[in-house]
Structure 1
Amino acid sequence: MKKNKTLLAAGLLLGIVPCHAQKAASKTDFHQWAATPPMGWNSWDCYGPTVTEAEVRANADYMAKNLKSSGWEYVVVDIRWYVGNDTAHGYNEKNPDWNLDEYGRFIPAVNRFPSAAGGKGFKPLADYLHAKGLKFGIHIMRGVPVVAVQRRLPILGTKLTAADIYSKESLARWLHDMYTVKAGPGAQEYYDSLFKLYAAWGLDFVKVDDLSEPYHKPEVEMIRRAIDKSGRKIVFSTSPGETPIAEAKHVAANANMWRTVGDFWDSWEQLKEHFEVCNRWAPYIQPGAFPDADMLPLGRLGIRAERGDDRQTRFTPDEQRTLMTLWSVFRSPLMFGGDLPSNDAATLALLTNKNVLAVNRSSTHNRQLFRGGDLVAWTADDPTTGDKFLALFNAQDQELAPASEAVWASGLINRQTPGNAADVDITGATKLYLNVRDGGDGTAWDHADWLNPTLSGGGKTVALTTLPWRNASAGWGKSTVNKSVSGAPLLVAGKAYETGIGTHANSIIEYDLPAGSTHLSTTVGLDNAAAVQNTGGTLDFLVFTKSPYRPAPADSVRVPVLLKELGIASEATVTDLWSGRKIGEFTTEFAPYIRRHGAALYRISARKK
């Protein structure tokens, strides 16, 4: 209890523990297990549900050699490590090769994790990491395995079976491995048995999926109790998001980190949305309990991932710096998603800048200072020196024309919309732009399909899919002919289409039109890959015959900050934390130029009297 009081007192002194979180910190001591935001690597962005032990060890070796000295320590094996025959870019739900023990607990697939043979589980892999001074984590799904229920496998230490504790209510719609664990006899014992096993393996971190949105309070509490009973300090992360902000008090009392968004990928549109999300969650940052802005999709991604192909991150260098700057000043956990051994020097430099990482690890009173349109400023305090940290962002985009200027607009499309047919007059046009925009639901499930798009005129017809486009963008993934953006067949409202274009909001596909084209006919809809998700998937389809882009804003703009806004009344010295270079002395105002989609991070030191 003395340690808990010390932690709480420190949080109060730093001014970052909300009143509701003060009670949470005083009840347990698990917050001390991750007093600073966890930093590590997670296999999801590279390998989806197919990562192997050799790949985990290779990433761990790189971390130990190149990142450990900068504070990176967790190595996390993500989803479905218990399936021996899972598939890249999706999940094998037709004939999964399950691996589980006699008590209905999943165990590692030996063909992927050879050291688990002989009932050793993940202990040999955890031992390998621990010997390098690293920590080991896994991903699990909330609930009890469907296969354990079907086989009526016993629950350790009870006379009950998995069939006595399950419910079909509130199941994940995107993966069907698990049933809900209903509160009652055997439920807590089941979760206790899981974490007893994980503790025996030497687990240090657990990411529990399908837990945050919707928020499953009873299972959050059961997992918390099970971890506490396990006898091992296992950091608890809930996923995915957005966690309901109304549950901020509860999740902070039970978990070390919780997601604030759905899965985040290398999409500028998603990154830009984080300014609002981080501002909303900043009041809830506290030692040992951190809002989680999700993984860092940097470096080499998509080797066998759910989304996209093998690629380097689509973020530009400016956007990469924006990402690292915002995550650091927001004090988000830092979980790198790229393949570490594939890192280039620039990516390694992003991850090892000691000045920037110090803001993430030890700053306090983190908050948005102001937002003027797409010019954003954040600030935080250095509790040791009294200096201020200042992060400046230029999130300005090339503005799009309003929907009223389109030659055709679908109106809002969602999962209840069977499809919307269009016959668009394009007489006299030489250009065609197919534009899909997010419908405003705040989720990433915006898989859009242009189905059977056909040009006609002068007695001729031509399938648009047979013509090369000039340019194509997509919110994530890439626009694809005759497949959905997820790589699956085109499927809308239960109907399959052989011909079409799969893309993802926000998306613009540009064509040069054949001479004589007078009409475009097509059907549009939300692809099945989005329609089966838990939430979201709303779209606007637009057709333009003139560029939908407004003239681009300037490459760099001044972002002025009054020193008094930072609480500095005298002259101050400004240091650029990314470069380590002293900028100069300033009075009254500091107004640097910030590149479009870029960011800067400064230390502001008031002159000593």
Structure 2
Amino acid sequence: MKMKTAPMGWNSWDCYGAAVTEDIVRRNAEFMAEHLKEYGWEYIVVDIQWYEPYAATNEYHPFADVVMDEYGRLLPAVNRFPSAANGAGFGPLAEYVHSLGLKFGIHIMRGIPRQAVHQNTKIMNSDRHAREIAKTNSICAWNTDMYGVDPEKDGAREYYNSIFELYASWGVDFIKCDDIARELPHEESELIMLSKALHGCGRPMVLSLSPGPALLEKAELYKQISNMWRITDDFWDKWELLYDMFSRAEKWCTHAGAGHWPDADMLPVGPIRQVYDVNNWTNFTQDEQITMLTLWSIMRSPLMLGGELTGFDEFTMNLVTNSEILAMHANARHSHQVWRREIDGIEHALWIAADTKGGYYVAVFNLGDKDSDISIPLADLEIYDGVNGTELWSGEHVEEQKSLSVSLKSHGARAYHFTYN
């Protein structure tokens, strides 16, 4: 599936862990449709363990019973997703999300349910059974729901075909597949098999690989078989994690391209924390949130909101509906770090990207613990003639000049769009 821009949406994990319910998904979809869709936000993604009736937090229940059909295919727990009753699965919920002009996604784990293997369920469109295709020594280190699938066994491809056939029948537009991005090279053949099944199911779907950090030496494989892949483990609202992202972004930014993007993970903004409480606000300062959105946007990472959308305050809404920043996210090309250095004892980073509509995007970051005032020669950016520009967060006009004077808050950022006169 070739997309021109990296996906933008909402995922239930940061706020609800494994405990999200249908009413929560519906209200966030309604909010997105009313307030965010016009800015490009469009995916509503249900994260992990939607098939577990008693999931209540981000803590997994070891070896919990799961809901599945006779072919070992996982189904939504009806007590949490009532519209899934009578075998409807996620079809009715996806239809509702689509009626709002949005797209619907789900999280899955690599492999086949252990419960299906223990019960030795049939494999759809095959004379094989679950025990014959399971790779029981291939297990997730942090979740007990699944065994891996052995691609060398007859029936393995049929199993993966059957689950994506089911997801297509539900109207799923986005698959976040977990326990796979950093499992290479051991599970590379299973990943390739999964990708072929998804792309052969007859319905276009985004394929997102988790968790990270993905392996840089496998970048070309990720680009050929998926749309996005995590370059980090779970990203939370801690400055040290955001600071670390600059090194990851520098390594991965050159691999962003048509239909495939390194994924810096979700945006923990607004009210977050599993399980949701309106008082559990992001620990990022406002300047750190601006830095995060600026870096994610210039490097073209997918943008997936993690907070309860209906609890967003004015600052958060302004943050995620800044049309100029989102235009940079859509139109930046060939993004890269120009330099990262200390200026007057404070660490700074400078990034640049070409704009498909002409000119350049430039981002300046203060990675230090003090405010700073710096002057950046435009020659550092190989801009030798006079340009005019706009600072994208404030809207301030930048007159023709040979250097850029920037005032930055600690952990803050400024982003510019420059065009030639």
TM-score by length of 1: 0.67
TM-superposed CA distance for 1:560, in Å, is: 2.9
SS at match of 2:207: strand
| Letter of the structure 2 residue corresponding to residue 377 of structure 1 | L
1:71 matched to which residue of 2?
A: 40
What residue number does 2:225 align with? 254
Task: Find the aligned partners of 2:398 and 2:19 in 1 and give their Cα distance.
Answer: 47
C-alpha displacement of 1:567: 2.6
Query: 2:176 matched to 1:207?
Result: yes
Where 1:221 maps in the other structure, the secondary structure is: helix
Could you list the per-position Cα deviations for residues 372-431 of structure 1 after superposition, in whole angstroms to 9, with x for gaps in the alignment?
A: 04200111111212x11110000113xxxxxxxxxxxxxxxxxxxxxxxxxxxxxxxxxx
- Deviation, structure 1 residue 363: 1.1
Deviation at 1:262, TM superposition (A): 0.3
Q: Does 1:600 align with 2:400?
A: no
- Cα distance per residue 1:478-503 (max 9 Å; x no partner): xxxxxxxxxxxxxxxxxxxxxxxxxx
What's the secondary structure of 2:225's corresponding residue? Answer: coil
CA distance in 2, matches of 1:259, 1:241: 5
- Residue matched to 1:173: 141
1:394 and 2:359 aligned? no
Contact 1:376-1:392 within 8 A present in 2 as well: yes
Cα deviation code 1:147-193 (max 9, x no counterpart): 00000000000011111111123321111110011112111111000
Counterparts of 2:258 and 2:67 in 1: how far apart (Å)?
37
Q: Which moved more, 1:221-230 or 1:199-208?
A: 221-230
Looking at structure 1, the residues matched to 137 and 223 of structure 2 have their Cα atoms a distance apart, in angstroms, of 25
CA distance in 2, matches of 1:378, 1:120: 48
**Aligned residue in 1 for 2:150:** 182
What's the RMSD between the two structures over aligned residues? 1.4
Q: Tell me the distance in 1 between the aligned counterparts of 2:201 and 2:253.
A: 31
Structure 2 residue aligned with 1:235? 206
How far is 1:229 from its partner? 1.6
Give 2:79's match in structure 1, choosing from 111, 119, 124.
Answer: 111
**Partner residue, 1:329:** 298
Unaligned 5+ residue runs, structure 2? none
1:487-524 superposed Cα distances (whole Å, 9 cap, x missing partner): xxxxxxxxxxxxxxxxxxxxxxxxxxxxxxxxxxxxxx
Question: Residue by residue, what CA displacement relative to the aligned partner does 1:115-166 show, whole Å, maximum 9, x if unpaired?
Answer: 0001000000000011111000000000110000000000000011111111
Alpha-carbon spacing, 1:277–1:559, altered in 2? closer, same or farther (3 Å): farther
Q: Does 1:380 align with 2:353?
A: yes
Letter in 1 for 2:316: T
Aligned to 1:405: none
Distance 2:374 2:233 in 1: 30
Secondary structure of 2:17 counterpart: helix
Distance, in Å, in 2 between the alignment partners of 1:344 and 1:219 is 43
Cα deviation, residue 87, structure 1: 2.6
Are 1:569 and 2:394 counterparts? no
Q: Secondary structure at the match of 2:18?
A: helix
**1:42 and 2:11 equivalent?**
yes
Letter in 2 for 1:578: W
2:30 alignment counterpart = 61
Instruction: Please say if residues 304 and 310 of structure 1, whose CA atoms lie closer than 8 Å, have aligned partners that are also in contact.
Output: no
Indicate if the aligned counterparts of 1:85 and 1:97 stay in contact, CA closer than 8 A: no
Whether the aligned pair in 2 keeps the contact of 1:302 and 1:309 (CA below 8 Å) is no
SS class of match (2:177): strand
The aligned residue for residue 300 of structure 1 is 271
1:169 match: secondary structure: strand
Q: Distance in 1 between matches of 2:314 and 2:192?
A: 43
Which residues of 2 match residues 550-569 of structure 1 at below 5 A?
Answer: 555-569=370-384
Partner of 2:401: 586
Per-residue deviation, 1:261:
0.3
Matches of 1:273 and 1:390, distance apart in 2: 20
Task: Give deviations 1:53-101, integer Å, cap 9, x for gaps.
Answer: 000000000000000000000000000000001131411226x341100
Alpha-carbon contact 1:393-1:594 (below 8 Å) kept: yes
Q: How far does the alpha carbon of each residue in 1:271-313 deviate from its partner, in whole angstroms, 9 at most, with x for none?
A: 00000000000111111000000000000001417xx996100
Kept in 1: contact 2:58–2:274 (CA 8 A): no
Greater helix fraction, Structure 1 or Structure 2: 2
CA distance in 1 between counterparts of 2:208 and 2:58 reads: 24
Deviation digits for residues 207-237 of structure 1, max 9, x if unmatched? Answer: 0000011223112111111112210001000
Aligned residue type for 1:183? P
Residue in 2 that maps onto 1:149: 117
Output aligned runs, 1:335-350, within 5 Å. 335-350=304-319
Give how far 1:103 is off.
0.4
Quote the Cα distance in structure 2 between the aligned partners of 1:388 and 1:564.
13
Matched residue, 1:120: 88
1:170-569 aligned within 5 A: 170-184=138-152, 185-215=154-184, 216-304=187-275, 311-373=280-342, 374-385=347-358, 387-397=359-369, 555-569=370-384
Contact 1:76–1:138 under 8 Å retained in 2: yes
CA distance in 2, matches of 1:315, 1:233: 36
TM-score, normalised to structure 2, is: 0.96
1:390 corresponds to which letter in structure 2? V
Supply the distance in 2 between the matched residues of 1:258 and 1:378 (Cα, whole angstroms): 22
Q: Is the 8 A contact 1:388 1:566 kept in 2?
A: no
Secondary structure of the 2:123 match is coil
Q: Deviations over 1:411-462 (max 9, x none)?
A: xxxxxxxxxxxxxxxxxxxxxxxxxxxxxxxxxxxxxxxxxxxxxxxxxxxx
Q: Report deviation, 1:41.
A: 0.1
SS for the counterpart of 1:300 is coil
Higher Rg: 1
Identity of aligned residues (%): 43
CA positional deviation for 1:346: 0.8
Give the unaligned 5+ runs of structure 1: 1-29, 398-554
CA distance in 1, matches of 2:4, 2:136: 37
Task: Output the CA distance in 1 between the equivalents of 2:55 and 2:396.
Answer: 49
- For these two proteins, the number of residue pairs brought into alignment is 414
Deviation digits for residues 543-598 of structure 1 (CA, Å, limit 9, x no counterpart) = xxxxxxxxxxxx321333221232321222131111222132212x1121211100
Whole-angstrom distance in 1 between the partners of 2:79 and 2:227: 32
In structure 1, C-alpha distance between the alignment counterparts of 2:349 and 2:310, rounded to whole Å: 34
8 Å Cα contact 2:181/2:211 also seen in 1:
yes
Give the 3-state SS of the residue equivalent to 1:312 in structure 2.
Answer: coil
